[in-house]
Amino acid sequence: MSMRGFLLFSFLAAVAAFSAVGGDDALGRGRQIYADTQDFEYPSCAHCHATVSPEQAQRLTLRGPGGTLYGSARREGWRNRKSYKEIGTALQYCAKTWQRRKKGIRGDDLKALVAYLETLGAGEGKLPARRVKRPKPLKDYGGGDAAKGKPLVVWCSGCHGDADDSLSFKLIPGKKRKDVLARKLRGYDTKRRFKPEQGTMSYYTQDRLSDEEARDIIAYLGR
C-alpha cells in the first residue's frame, strides 16, 4: 500500500465525524493537519493514530503504534512520555518529538487541530486520562510464526511501503537482524535502554502489539 493510499484510508475513517460538523474552515484545516506530512518529510498524525472508536480501531487492518484519537479531546489528562493537563501541550510534544517538526505546530494550526479532535466522539462525556505503560523489552524473540507475521506487516506499510512516497525503507522478508527488529518495535536502544526518542520509529506497547504478534513479525522479516 502506498503512503497516499494509507492517508486516504485515514481520511475515510474520519469522514463521519467531520461531515457531522459541516465544512467549517478551521475544522477542515484541522483535518488536513491530522494527515499532513509536509511532502512526506515526516509522519502525520494518521500514521500512528486512527480516529474511530476504540472498538472499531481494534478491527482495523492498519493498526498504528498510537491509540485512536477518538475522544482524545475529552480526556482529563494526557500522557505522552510525560503528563499533560492541556491537549495542545501534549500535541506539541508529539509534533516536535515524534514528527520531528522543529518548531512544532504554529498557533492557528494547533487550534484547528484541537477543534477537529473535539469533534471526534463529541457529546459523550469526560474520559479518564489514558495511561500507557512502558513496554517491556522483547528478550525472547524466537519461535514466531512467519506465516502469521506476513499479514501483520501491513501495519508497517504506512511508513515502510514499496512506493516512491514512503517515509522509510521498504521491509524485505528475511533481511533485518532479529535483535534490531525486537529493539525497534519496543523503543529500546543498543544498550537495551528505553530511548524511543533517539530513533525515528514510534514504538509499540504491548496493548498495541502483543509479544506473540511481535515475534511473528520478527520471524517473517528477520534473519
- Mean pLDDT over all residues of the chain? 80
Instruction: Give the span between the Cα atoms of 111 and 51, in whole angstroms.
Output: 18
CB 70 within 8 A of CB 52: yes
The pLDDT, as a whole number, for residue 163 is: 62
CB 125 within 8 A of CB 174: no
Strand 78-79 to 83-84 pairing: antiparallel
Query: Which amino acid would we find at residue 130?
Result: R
Q: How many CA atoms lie within 13 A of 78 on its CB side?
A: 19
Mean pLDDT along residues 209-213: 92
* pLDDT beyond 70 at 187: yes
Q: What is the pLDDT of residues 48-93, one digit of tens each?
A: 888 998 888 878 777 788 888 999 888 888 876 678 888 898 899 8
Q: What distance lies between CA 122 and its chain's CA centroid?
A: 22
* pLDDT beyond 60 at 22: no
Q: What is the pLDDT of residues 128-177, one digit of tens each?
A: 777 777 888 888 888 899 999 998 888 787 677 766 656 677 788 888 89
Residue with cell 479518564: 128
Q: Which three cell numbers stand for residue 202?
A: 514510534
Distance between start and end Cα atoms, the chain: 24
pTM: 0.74
Residue with cell 533481511: 175
